Amino acid sequence: MNQELEQSCKYEIKTKTEEYSGVFVKQDEKFLYIKLKSGYNIGISQNKVTTIKKLEDKKIEKPKQESKITASKNLPKITILHTGGTIASKVDYSTGAVIAQFTEKDILNLFPELTAIANIDSKLVRNMQSEMMRFAHYNLLAKAIKEEADKGADGIIITQGTDMLHYTSAAMSFILENLGIPVLVVGSQRSSDRPSSDAAINLVSAVNFIANADFSGVGVCMHDTDNDTTTQILPGCKIRKMHTSRRDAFKPINSKPIAQINTTKNEIKFISDYSKKNKNKKIILKLFKEDLKIGIIKPHISMFAEEILTYKSFDGVILELLGIGHMPTMKVDEYTDENIKIYKAIKTLCKKMPVGIAPTTIYGRLNLNVYSPGKQLLDAGVIGNYTDMTPETAFIKLAWLISNYKKEEIKELFEKNLRGEISERIEDEN
C-alpha cells in the first residue's frame, strides 16, 4: 500500500499482525514512519500495511498545564537557568518530531515536586541544543549566575543538552571565580515526556543536593547507573560523556564523584573532599573572548602536515596525544617522510600560538620525557606535560586563559591546577 498521508496528522495503521497509532512523520518507497505516543519513531513496511485510517475525530493530546505553583519562603532559594536540550524536549504535536521547546514554566509544571524542596525561580536563557552553543552563551550563563547569586540564591541549576554538557561545566568552573554557592549542570539522556526519561530524577536530585548539602563549586548531576536508584554529583572539570544513550553516560575521569545521592531515601553520601558554602563570597567573572578560534587536532594513521597547518590562523590549539605523549613526528623508513613535515608544522603553530596537549586515551597522565617523539614535542614548544586533563577541559581552559591572561603567563597557568582539572594523584597510576 502506498497512500499519500498528511504531515502532522494522526493515523491508525494496521498490518496483518500489528496495529499502530501515531503522528505521520514521513514516507518513502518502502517504509511509512510515524511518531508513537512514547515519542519514538517507528518505520512500517509499506507492503505489510492493510488499512490506514485518519483519526480526524481524535485530537492529539498535549501535556496538561498545571496551575501556578508557589513555594514556602522558608525553603532555600534555587534558580534554574534553562538552555534547552533533551531535558527540555517533548513531542512537537505539529510535526511529530522531538524538539527542545519547553519554557521555564513548563519545567516547573512537569516537576511540581521541586517546589516542596526549595523556593524555585525558573528562567530561560536560551532554548537550543547544546552543540549549537558558542563562547558567547557561556558568558550569558555566567552573567545570569552572578545576577542570581547577588540576589541571594542558595544555588543555581543549569539545564542543558548532554552532548556538550561537560564543556559547559568546565567553562563555568573557570569563569566563576570566588564561587561560594553550588552551581550544578543537569541534563537528560531521554526527553522529559517519555516514560524512560531520566530528567525528573536528575533534576530533583540536583535540587535536593543544593537544599541539603553544604557544597560549593561547579558540578554535574546525572545518573550513577542505568537504573533509577542513585545519581551522582560529578566534578565539573573531570567528566566526559562516555555513551550515546545510556542514562549513566557521564563518568569521572582520573577522579571520583563528589557525592552519591540515594534517590529513594534522599540520602547524600560524600565521596570526595569539597569546598563548603559561603554566601558572603562575591563571584568574580572572567569571561571568554567571544570571537576566539581554538582547535582540537586528533592524531591518526597517515596524517599530513596540511591538517596541522589548517589551524595556523587560530588563537590556540589542543593536540590530542597518543599514549603518554606522542604524535607521528619521526622518519623511520622510506614511507614516513611526511612525519618530518608534521613535526615542522607543529613547531610552526607553537611559534604562532599556545599549543596545549591532552591524552587522546582519556584516562592517564602525559609524560613527554619518556620517549623520543614526546621529547621532540617539548622541544617544539607544546604546553601541558604531566597533566591529565580531558581534551574538552583542556580546550576550555586554553580558551579561558587566552581570554584573560598575557601570553607569557599562559604556559605556567595551563600546567597549574586551578579548578581541579589536573589530578594531583590518579588512583591506578603506576
Class of domain 10-54: mainly beta
pLDDT digits (tens, 9 = 90+) for 178-222: 999 999 999 888 665 555 577 788 999 999 999 999 999 999 999
The residues, ordered by sequence, that sit 6+ positions from 97 with a Cβ below 8 Å of its Cβ are 25, 35, 91
> Which ranges in the chain are annotated with CATH 3.40.50.1170?
77-285
CA distance 368 to 390: 16
The β-bridge partners of 35 are 23, 41
Q: What is the pLDDT of residue 186?
A: 95
Counting residues of the chain whose pLDDT is more than 90, the rounded percentage is: 64
Q: What is the pLDDT of residue 190?
A: 66
> Which ranges in the chain are annotated with CATH 2.30.30.520?
10-54
Burial class, 309, CB count within 10 angstroms (exposed 0-12 / middle 13-18 / buried 19+): middle
Mean pLDDT of the residues in the chain:
88
Averaged over 86-111, what is the pLDDT? 55
Look up the pTM and report it: 0.81
**Higher per-residue pLDDT: 331 or 107:** 331
60 falls in which pLDDT band (50, 70, 90)?
A: very low
Averaged over 13-40, what is the pLDDT? 79
Q: What is the pLDDT of residue 115?
A: 81
Task: Please state the length of the chain.
Answer: 430
pLDDT digits (tens, 9 = 90+) for 278-329: 999 999 999 999 999 999 999 999 999 999 999 999 999 999 999 999 999 9
Q: Read off φ and ψ for residue 73, nearest 5 degrees.
A: -70, -15
Homologous superfamily of 77-285? L-asparaginase, N-terminal domain (3.40.50.1170)
H or E stretch at 20: strand 19-27
H or E stretch at 260: strand 259-262
Q: What is the pLDDT of residue 192?
A: 55
| R_g of the chain computed on alpha carbons | 25
Give the Å distances, CA to CA, from 80 to 44, 84, 88: 41, 12, 12
Amino acid at residue number 71: A
pLDDT digits (tens, 9 = 90+) for 152-182: 999 999 999 899 999 999 999 999 999 999 9
Question: Which fold does the domain 294-414 belong to in CATH?
Answer: Rossmann fold (3.40.50)
CA angle 291, 292, 294 (to 5 degrees): 145
Averaged over 363-383, what is the pLDDT? 96
CA distance 175 to 197: 31
pLDDT exceeds cutoff 60 at 102: no
**Residues forming the active site:** 86, 162-163, 241
Averaged over 226-251, what is the pLDDT? 93
Q: What is the pLDDT of residue 56?
A: 62
Counting residues of the chain whose pLDDT is more than 70, the rounded percentage is: 85
- For residue 211 the three cell numbers come to 537544599
> Which ranges in the chain are annotated with CATH 3.40.50.40?
294-414
